[in-house]
A = this chain, B = another copy of it.
């Protein structure tokens, strides 16, 4: 890659970025687009124009950490702590900052947990691996008597985990018909207003995709379906609550300390039974995973690890091939018929600048879903934990494949013969190949931050989708809302992406210092833009009280060690006299990681009792805490509450307070 193609790439990226920023400034002012640019504010019932007088940069800069926490939760704040430290690379500065950051995040977590607001998950624990029901007892009696025996004073009640597969299916079907009914009614009302006064009743065909089958009156048809499904759902709810008990339960306590302490304690002498952990937030519980047994979880975990390792290993081959092929010189050599096109100056420059990076980005975009699926298959009980696990896998995947894979494969392809003659160590190859590939990664970083953040800020894709949907598809208010609801920040892929940039910046900082301003720009801009997005756009879908951080911390250190080892090899290759001094650095990093882990980690894994000891002044509404864990499919009709109560609390509740 020569300097002209590099500059072209840079310039193009920058122009795209400027255009997108200008678009944002213009578009976000239009009232019709407020739902795209301020959905978070609107969902919280705030006036999107509240900050209209100030520029978004000013707001993003002036908002305090507490604002961000109250709006987007600790996880978001954690993410900013992460962004604001990654900017540095010298090891000791990194240590110092990581130490400070860990301490800070730990304090954030403590503050969030201390908060007197009642958070249902702080009063509950999740118990899995309940042994089979002894004869003459129900599952409910078994669980209640077990915990009442251990916690006579603080046990409140229990909720058995049930197999909700069937009831969920019916519920979703019902909800689907309800939406369709609302939509049909809206179309009918609309037709009254615009066409004939008596209106046109909407119709559709009942067959496949509405293309074949009998044509029916939509409103009547959906009403019928709904009336059919409601009793079906009710009877399924009853049978689920009565019979489909699994070997897991949520156990509620009357105080936060009791719950936090119970979640950390061993309950049964048989370690693989009655395993207790702190309950995740109701909204992020993965009910279908709760029944998986202790050793099955272990086996699943290792099977998944093996699959991920194989994935990392075997995807190296296609990536290597892509990287080697997409050098223009190779392309011309291998596909001579493209010569005419490739010799065109404009085509050549653009292709050379973007082709490999685009291939890479597209390829990386395919993976997160697969990794999340694998992580859930491990039997992890909560969404945030599964996302953390997937994000970790994605980090190792991207670092190993993209960074090492592209670097080494690119070099291997051109120096294949010389290697055959005199085999070199892996460290040597890695260190040798770095300068040649620096330009590739510079472009990669530039592309990611200019185009990536430009798209992020301008929200041009969601904007277009929203307008298309509103114009042609949405008939009801609810559908419009669905069209602009922004979702969460998406840590699962965002963090590994940023971690890859950190790794790249760290590793190239000494050889190609040009990468440093790009890195600074990436994280500086990222901090600014994502702060804006967190305040105005994204709605967090869960809160894990900063459990994300230890995870990021370990991976920054992994990147640092990779950097230190690479530098050692690089300087060794360059016959740098003092390079042996560098050997101590990776050891130092390991010691640092060990100390941090000892000092901070357990406070992220468990809830420290001192931080939850301050009970809120008013007695928490435990009934409401309990209810918040009932999944919607089992809590459909308000009138069904008594039935639910009966089914779930066969042991009289007064018993709990003896």
Contacts and interface: CB of A to CB of B under 8 A. Distances in A.
Given A265-B264, A265-B265, A266-B264, A272 B608 contact: no
A149 interface: yes
Contact of A270 (B298, B595, B603): B603
A613 interface: yes
Contact of A265 (B106, B260, B598, B600): B260
Interface string A584-628: 000000000001001111110011111101100000000000000
A450 interface: no
B611 A269 contact: yes
A341 interface: no
B150 A603 contact: no
Chain A interface, DSSP helix/strand/loop, else mixed: helix
B109 A295 contact: no
Interface string A541-579: 000000000000000000000000000000000000000
B598 A271 contact: yes
A153 B268 CA distance: 24
A107 interface: yes
B257 A609 contact: no
A110 to B, nearest CB: 4
Nearest to A266: B606
Contact of A603 (B107, B262, B269, B608): B269
A109 B269 contact: yes
A602 B265 contact: no
Interface string A242-263: 0000000000000001001110
Given A150-B609, A150-B613, A600 B271 contact: yes
Contacts of A267: 608-610
Contact of A269 (B106, B257, B271, B595): B106
Contacts of A603: 266, 268-271
B598 A298 contact: yes
A271 B294 CA distance: 27
A151 interface: yes
Interface in A99-155: 106-107, 109-110, 146, 149-151, 153
A106 B602 CA distance: 27
Contacts of A107: 269
Contact of A598 (B110, B153, B295): B295
Contacts of A37: none
A161 to B, nearest CB: 20
Contacts of A110: 269
A403 interface: no
A269 B582 CA distance: 35
A294 B599 CA distance: 9
The winner among A298, A606, A610 for most chain B CB atoms within 10 A is A610
A463 to B, nearest CB: 43
A274 interface: yes
A99 to B, nearest CB: 13
A149 B261 CA distance: 14
Given A261-B261, A298-B598, A595-B295, A269 B608 contact: yes
A272 B613 contact: no
B266 A607 contact: yes
Contact of A599 (B272, B607, B613, B614): B272
Closest 4 CB pairs of A and B: A110-B269, A266-B606, A269-B608, A150-B613
Given A106-B270, A271-B603, A274-B610, 8 more contacts: A265-B609, A266-B606, A266-B608, A267-B609, A267-B610, A268-B603, A272-B598, A295-B599
28 contacts: A106-B269, A106-B270, A107-B269, A109-B269, A149-B613, A149-B614, A150-B257, A150-B609, A150-B613, A151-B257, A153-B153, A260-B265, A261-B262, A261-B264, A261-B265, A264-B264, A265-B265, A265-B606, A266-B602, A266-B606, A266-B608, A268-B608, A268-B610, A271-B598, A271-B599, A271-B602, A271-B603, A295-B595
Interface of A: 106-107, 109-110, 146, 149-151, 153, 257, 260-262, 264-272, 274, 294-295, 298, 595, 598-603, 606-611, 613-614
